[in-house]
Amino acid sequence: MMSSGGHMKFFNLARVPGRWWKPAAMALLLLSLPVASTAGRTTPVQPANGAKVYMLRGVLNIFSLGLDDIAAKLEAQGIPVDVTNYLGWSGVADEAAADYRSGRVKTVILVGHSSGATVLPDMVERLNQLGVPVRLVIGLDSVFRTSLSGRVGRYINYYIGNGNGEPVARARGMHGELDNVNVQNVPGVGHITIEKNEIMQRRVIGDIDSVVFGSRPREVSAAHAVVR
């Protein structure tokens, strides 16, 4: 559905606190679409410094394809990535927990776009329950207001303030660093382009590199971003 501002808002599919919307027809369509990707790799990638990134697409797997581009660039650096539709977030959490317990993964990083960003606080909470520390979380323009009550190293919520994007609220019990970054002034950014935008891709990769390799993250200029 399109809002008056021209941004797509999937209120009938995203997780709203306290309820799930499960249209039968949409579920059947989603079953016919691929929901997981390894960014085209044919051989396993050894985790760089024990890190792995778990990415969550938004609705229908067709509005978050920029995540695949980011995944390919990360894997070129030796960072393994799994890309999955947001509806499978609980299974991804279980997978991340299994990877962590096995010792294959030591640093868990989460990235989500649209509905994939909306469910990130739930995924953090579940991983906390499973005893898995989450080092970094990056949300890209969740269109529903969410709150974070779990424990995380750093949670960065990039949202489009003059669109339908929403900041993440700090709830009781939340431990860690929470940054809400309004990127409405980034040239060419929109709800269905934020993860495809070259500036934003560089920023996301820089944020991840700063955790995995200890490098300085690439900054969006002050004219392009406002941290709240």
Looking at the domain assignment, is residue 3 inside a domain? no
Looking at the domain assignment, is residue 6 inside a domain? no
pLDDT at 23 over 60: no
Is the Cβ–Cβ distance between 183 and 224 less than 8 Å?
Answer: yes
Question: pLDDT digit string (tens) for 75-130?
Answer: 999 999 999 999 999 999 999 999 999 999 999 999 999 999 999 999 999 999 99
Q: Which two tokens stand for residue 63?
A: 């509005």
> In whole angstroms, what is the distance from residue 183 CA to residue 161 CA?
7
- pLDDT value at position 102? 96
Looking at the domain assignment, is residue 2 inside a domain? no
Q: Which residue has the tokens 């909470």?
A: 125
> In whole angstroms, what is the distance from residue 47 CA to residue 149 CA?
28
Domain count, the chain: 1
Looking at the domain assignment, is residue 35 inside a domain? yes
Which CATH number is 217's domain given? 3.40.50.1820
Looking at the domain assignment, is residue 32 inside a domain? yes
Q: Is the pTM of this model over 0.75?
A: yes
User: What range does the domain containing 134 cover?
Assistant: 24-40+47-227
